[in-house]
Chains A and B, each alone.
Chain A
């Protein structure tokens, strides 16, 4: 794949969109520099939804701060609280019971399923294929119900706590059986969706070769997660996470880095998530789900990286008399903004929002950093 070069010297017309736009689920401003409806360059700006969560977390007891991280994102809420707890567990050297590790993995993979299904539905919606979008939303509904069954809520489950998972989120036989049965339903539904999607030549022509991001450029822009893997780079942090040591799964990649590759990437990765959940259900050990035998002490800055549905999530803070200091959170979309800007180049303006959506933006979660651009 050739590298696309922004043709800055001939740019005449600028079409700004946002911060409110129906194709975007979240508030962001995109300036599209176009020539005859073909995007030559794009500039994305966020910052209208800054909530200052890191600032609020400063000085809070770590347990309270962990609960607060769940409010960062409505899609990967579990991932945030998981990584925040994990940060404390690394710093305080807390051992996690085996059963709790398995439940965390189940929750993480269910969240991956619902995030990927949302992505697929949003992608279909952005190309104005409402029927496919609705069908994926019906599949997602099964996952949402499972998450509600485990966590008690559809968005904020409050599952991980320092030392394990909340006892109310423990999985009994009935719950495990329901998850197992629903995985069969989801697999069947997703297979049907993928077959219909690939058989629809109009839709495939609409998403093939659009929003191309070459692997070389993706690495240069530090793209993470499925958006990186859709360019052919097999990099998945789950392969290095101790939580996933017991599980056998493949790191899925796609070759082209376009919208089609990204959509299929999420489909195939969902099948892998189902595989992981099935393994977890089959092998979940007995025992307690939380280790309360730990002591608080002051720590240096602790860092934790995990693979969340959209890429690599980073949490770091220091602990001082049980309270949070120097908190920094970086969501995957922070790294992927560059990819979104790049992916638009050379495409028709109708495909610009699609090219942005293909990188799975989550700007409201990302809206916490100030990036100083030096030109």
Chain B
């Protein structure tokens, strides 16, 4: 009996994850074609191009050995990121609620932190040709400062990723814990049950404020403009992803779409009380929430330039204060 239930649950998780994954591959295309391109009055790429066709194309490209002091670890990091996002999505299915250690906010926060740490490692392990390695005679007679320490542009990216871990993603974590103040539990099952009994947390004052903070945190974690300081085109270019080619770049592309989907589902679970399962029509609501987030992010990013510290710090400080306000209101 137990074995049958376990087998069914595993099958349900697999089917849910596969379906969610397939939908997630369309998200980057939707953002680029139906939001960015429409706003910018151009045709844009085919909707399948950024999330499906580009990863497939990269899968069949010849791989190059990345310029990295630890190439093996560097190449493993996108896979780790993908597995982290996959694990996160699994925890957001109702079948994982039976394992409280997995289906809790602590696990979610831990998984998100692993994802963020991966960016630090990627940045510090990437040594692309775009800066120091470029064969250009910098230190010649007459050149300024010939005895300085050389730094790769990815090093800046790694430092910025570290900064984002320490304070950049703080608003997101505050928003994650806002529903806890209402449900009085860190377990996803309790949060979902509370909302099924009392209505979505989103429609409370605390929930509304926390939702705004969550959205800001969502953009920060996805490194989307204007918060994309770790991969700003104007200085660090692709930042941590610079040396990924072929199948590793394909995984980077896939993971981004998957993370967009998973964070949308996370919002559905924490703020509306709907876990992701393909065997319930509520999955449609999950997908709608995901699409709303993608559309909002697309609109917001299309109209904002990349931030520097001058804009980033006040934005994060403001979002953090809002997050604290949401928690305080929730406790009251």
Contact = CB atoms under 8 A, between A and B. Distances in A.
| B is bound to A | yes
Given A14-B149, A19-B134, A202 B234 contact: no
A48 B39 CA distance: 38
B118 to A, nearest CB: 22
Contacts of A13: 148-151
Interface stretch (B139-147, B191-199, B205-213): B139-147
B131 interface: yes
Nearest to B143: A43
A34 to B, nearest CB: 8
Contact of A128 (B143, B152, B225): B225
Nearest to B232: A350
B149 A23 contact: no
Interface residues of A, number: 48
Interface in A1-57: 8, 11-23, 29, 31, 33-34, 37, 41, 43, 45, 48
Contacts of A129: 303-305
A128 B151 CA distance: 24
B131 A17 contact: yes
Nearest to B37: A134
Given A16-B136, A354-B234, A348 B156 contact: no
Interface in A335-375: 348-354, 373-375
Interface stretch (B1-9, B83-91, B308-316): B308-316
A138 B156 contact: no
Given A348-B308, A350-B232, A16 B144 contact: no
A374 B169 CA distance: 49
B150 A14 contact: yes
Given A205-B310, A350-B229, A19 B234 contact: no
A206 B234 CA distance: 13
Contact of B144 (A31, A138, A200, A206): A31
Interface string B26-56: 0000000000100111100000000000000
B156 A11 contact: no
Given A11-B145, A17-B131, A128 B232 contact: yes
B41 A353 contact: no
**Interface size bucket, B side?**
35 or more
Interface string B276-318: 0000000000000000000000000011111111110000000
Nearest to A374: B142
A14 B235 contact: no
B145 A14 contact: yes
Nearest to A129: B305
A333 interface: no
Contacts of A17: 130-131, 153, 235
Contacts of B307: 206
A23 B148 contact: no
Contacts of B149: 12-14
A205 B310 CA distance: 9
Interface string B236-276: 01000000000000000000000000000000000000000
A84 interface: no
B225 A131 contact: no
A350 B308 contact: yes
B233 interface: yes
A73 interface: no
A80 to B, nearest CB: 28
A60 interface: no
A227 to B, nearest CB: 19
Most chain B beta-carbon contacts within 10 A, residue among A11, A203, A206, A374? A206
A340 to B, nearest CB: 14
Contacts of B145: 8, 11, 14, 31, 33, 41
Contacts of B237: 21-22
A66 interface: no
A135 B39 CA distance: 10
A349 B233 contact: no
A13 B150 CA distance: 6
Contacts of B143: 31, 43
A15 B132 CA distance: 7
Contacts of A206: 305, 307-308, 311
Contacts of A202: 226, 304-305, 311
A103 to B, nearest CB: 33
A202 B307 CA distance: 9
B234 A11 contact: no
Most chain A beta-carbon contacts within 10 A, residue among B39, B142, B225, B305? B305
B140 to A, nearest CB: 9
A130 interface: yes
A351 B234 CA distance: 8
11 contacts: A16-B131, A16-B132, A18-B136, A33-B144, A45-B138, A127-B234, A129-B304, A206-B307, A206-B311, A348-B308, A350-B229
Given A127-B305, A129-B305, 12 more contacts: A16-B134, A19-B134, A19-B136, A22-B233, A31-B143, A45-B138, A135-B41, A202-B304, A203-B305, A348-B310, A350-B234, A374-B142
